[in-house]
Each structure stands twice: as structure tokens, then as C-alpha cells.
Chain A
Amino acid sequence: SQTIHQWPATLVQPVGSPLSLECTVEGTSNPNLYWYRQAAGRGLQLLFYSVGIGQISSEVPQNLSASRPQDRQFILSSKKLLLSDSGFYLCAWRGDRGDTEAFFGQGTRLTVV
């Protein structure tokens, strides 16, 4: 069966520090991968998606970047965190068919102080 791992679960970082969040998927190949951010009391905003190794599409301009160095690995990064980067970050994967559901990781709570 497919599983998705996301870590760390919680992170407190000072303003200006770097960030690296990692997500890995098991049990499937060539998944579509996604990073979402959920701000307090708000919905899910799609930040990045990837349809293959090295292929990254950005949905919103921001202080963050994403990379996909391996088929089932998706990384969210920042060189210098801002206070506004605080939030709940969710990684997800989905197949290519439109009727397939997205599977989500457990999320990372990032607090920038």
C-alpha cells in the first residue's frame, strides 16, 4: 500500500534561518507531488507541484522553493525564513487520473519566531 512520510512534525525556527522540509512516498512510482500551506483558520493553498524528477511548478510567488531530487522525494526549502512563513505545511501525492484522490502526509507545524 502507498504511504507518505513527512518530517519533522513540529519546527520552531528564528527569522532569517534556513528551512528544509522533506516528504517521501512509498508504494507508488512517478507520483504527482504537492506542497500545500494552511495558515491558521484558512484553507489549503497550493505552493508547488511536481510531475516528475527535477520538474517543479510554483503556484504563488513566495520566499520558498521546492525540489524533487528523486522520484518519490519532495523537499520544501527556504534560504531565509520570514515571520509570514509560519503555518501548517502539508505534502501530498496523487496519480494522473482526475478521479484519483490525493493522499496527505501528517503535516509540519512551522513557527517562525
Chain B
Amino acid sequence: AQSVTQPDIHITVSEGASLELRCNYSYGATPYLFWYVQSPGQGLQLLLKYFSGDTLVQGIKGFEAEFKRSQSSFNLRKPSVHWSDAAEYFCAVGVEAAGNKLTFGGGTRVLVKP
């Protein structure tokens, strides 16, 4: 079965600094990978996704992620963080099997210091 690990539970970053969130997955074939963001008390919004092609994908709100097959990783990055980026971020892996389910990592909470 597939699994996702987000090693960092909390990250604190200064406004204007760069941000990188780590995601490692376990799956036997090329997975479908997603990054979502969740504001407090809200549902999840898709930031970006990868399923084939260029391993560097661009998303909304200035985020990008790089798929590295050799490291089973799909890390999310942003060059310059804004205060509005404070939220919880989830990495997910999808498999085209029964139910077309998404498996999520434990999430990383990002705090932005002024």
C-alpha cells in the first residue's frame, strides 16, 4: 500500500524568506502526487500536482514542487513567503486503483514571523 511521510510537523519562517516542505512517498510505480493547503477550520485547496512529464511543477500562489524519483520525494518550495502563507500543508499520493483514493501525509504547519 502507498504511504506518505512529511517529516516536519512545524516550520517557522520569516516573512520574505524561502520555504521548503519535505514529502516522501512509498509506492511501487510512478505515483500521482499532490500538494494541498488548509487554512484554519477550512477545507483543502490544491496547490499543484504531478503525474508525468517535467519533474518541476508550478502551482498557485507562487509555489513549486520537484519530483525526484530516486529519492521518492516531492518537496514543495516557495522563494519568498508572505504572511498569508501561514497554514497547514499536506502532501498526498494517489493511485488509480479501487476507489481512486488519495493517501495524505501528516501535514506540516507553517508559521510566518513578521
A87 at the interface (CB under 8 A from B): no
| B interface with A by C-beta (< 8 Å) | 6, 9, 32, 34, 41-46, 49, 51-52, 90, 92, 94-96, 98-107
The reply to whether A106 and B100 form a contact with Cβ atoms under 8 Å apart is no
In the bound complex, residues from chain A placing their C-beta under 8 Å from that of B100 are 32, 51, 94-98, 100
Taken residue by residue from 51 to 66, chain A's Cβ proximity to chain B (1 for < 8 Å, 0 otherwise) reads as 1000001000000000
Would you mind naming 19 contact pairs between A and B with Cβ atoms under 8 Å apart? A6-B43, A34-B102, A43-B6, A44-B90, A44-B104, A46-B102, A49-B101, A51-B98, A92-B102, A95-B100, A97-B96, A98-B94, A98-B100, A99-B32, A99-B51, A99-B52, A101-B34, A104-B44, A109-B41
Residues of chain A with a CB closer than 8 A to B45's CB: 104
Known: A51-B98, A106-B42. A98 touches B103 (CB 8 A): no
For the complex, what is the distance from the CA of A57 to the CA of B101, rounded to whole Å? Answer: 11
Q: Which of A44, A90, A94 has the most CB of B within 10 A?
A: A44
Q: How far is the CB of A29 from chain B (nearest CB, A)?
A: 15
User: How many residues on chain A are close to B (CB under 8 Å)?
Assistant: 29
Interface centre among B41, B43, B107 (most CB of A within 10 A): B43
Within 8 Å CB of A92, what residues of B? 44, 102
Please give, as numbers and ranges, the residues of chain B lying within 8 Å of A107 by CB-CB distance: 41-43
Cβ-based interface call for A102 (8 A): yes
In angstroms, Cα B32 to Cα A17, docked, is 40
Q: Contacts A32-B99, A51-B99, A106-B42: A98 and B51 contacting too (C-beta < 8 A)?
A: yes
Residue of B with least CB distance to A101:
B46
